[in-house]
Copies of this chain bind each other. A is one copy, B any other.
Amino acid sequence: MEIFDTTTFIPPFALDIDLETGAMPDATNHLVRNASAMKGHYADSAAFDALVANGDPLHYEVFEKPVPEEYGHLMYCISKLQPGKVGDEFFMTKGHYHTVVQTGEIYLALAGEGFMLMKTQDGQFHYERMQRGRMVYVPPYWAHRSVNTGSEPLISFCVYPGDGGHNYGDIETEGFPGRVFEKNGEIVIE
């Protein structure tokens, strides 16, 4: 159990989160991914190349004020995924496993609508609807990717273990077992 001895002592703190917009004014880390960061992730590579050539728009952002990346601490963030499509496929995040694959994550959606796609390394697939007030439990071992199927940003508050880390693993090569498209005005996962 010696990993427990490495947990850093810090004083408590608080910060404000706008529960309508997800604004976190005290965030000190701001991860920005434009469309070009998603190369290889969408089914329609011609539509993707056109989107990048046409201004490479903002895709998603993550806001956080980090704590020690250690056992016992809890990382938290605001995730903000823009609405839009690449061809018929809705905008999504890269998705990740945790480096310590046995660590889960909680997402509490504050605004927008979409899905959380989840998969395991042995091929299981699951998705849950996201909308304001919906909490998605991403258990240990499940990679997770959010997808925005609405017309406004999909905004979530997330919490995960400080020692969890991020691992893109097989996602860049294998993707997820399901993609979310708009076809004939309907949202379909296939």
Residues of A at the B interface (CB closer than 8 Å) are 1, 3-4, 7-19, 67, 71-74, 76, 100, 102-106, 108, 110, 116, 118, 124, 126, 128-130, 132-142, 157, 159-162
Contacts and interface: CB of A to CB of B under 8 A. Distances in A.
A71 to B, nearest CB: 7
A12 B126 contact: yes
A2 to B, nearest CB: 9
B134 A14 contact: yes
B18 A133 contact: yes
A36 to B, nearest CB: 30
Copies in the complex: 2
B126 A72 contact: no
A153 B11 CA distance: 27
Given A12-B139, A159-B106, A17 B72 contact: no
A136 B14 contact: yes
A103 B74 CA distance: 8
B133 A102 contact: no
Given A19-B133, A74-B105, A126 B14 contact: no
A15 B110 CA distance: 13
Given A102-B71, A108-B17, A135 B76 contact: yes
Contacts of A138: 12
Among A71, A108, A137, A157, the one with the most B-chain Cβ atoms within 10 Å of its Cβ is A137
Contacts of A67: 104, 137, 139
Contact of A9 (B71, B136, B140): B140
Contacts of A140: 7-9, 72-73
Contacts of A132: 19
